Amino acid sequence: MSKYTCACGYVMNLSQGWSGYELTLIPESTIEGLGDRLDSEDKLSSDQLYETLDEKAITVYRCPKCRRLHLEEEPNKFTTYIVE
């Protein structure tokens, strides 16, 4: 996806590498499991780290104009949360 348009009309350009709009939600249990592996004899490669994170990650786009959060929980299917 190269651009994402928020309901407020703001267009987020996502085609220039990592952007400030894009965030990742990772379950605490996944982070803790990775930390345990870092401390163990079963060392983790960077590829294994990213694969583990990607398996559980939810991509989030945060609009800088209205601060809505758009969670991509399935490919191209978004759940949006608005600041009250």
pLDDT of residue 1: 59
From residue 2, how far is each of 13, 16, 23, 42, 68 by CA, in Å? Answer: 6, 8, 15, 38, 19
Give the CA dihedral 52, 3, 70, 79, nearest 10 degrees. -90
Confidence of residue 71 (pLDDT cuts 50, 70, 90): very high
Annotated domain spans of the chain: 3-81
Confidence of residue 2 (pLDDT cuts 50, 70, 90): confident
8 A C-beta contact, residue 42 and residue 51? no
pTM of the full structure: 0.80
Confidence of residue 5 (pLDDT cuts 50, 70, 90): very high
Tens digit of each residue's pLDDT (9 = 90 or more) over 14-64:
887 777 889 999 999 999 988 888 887 777 888 988 898 899 899 999 999
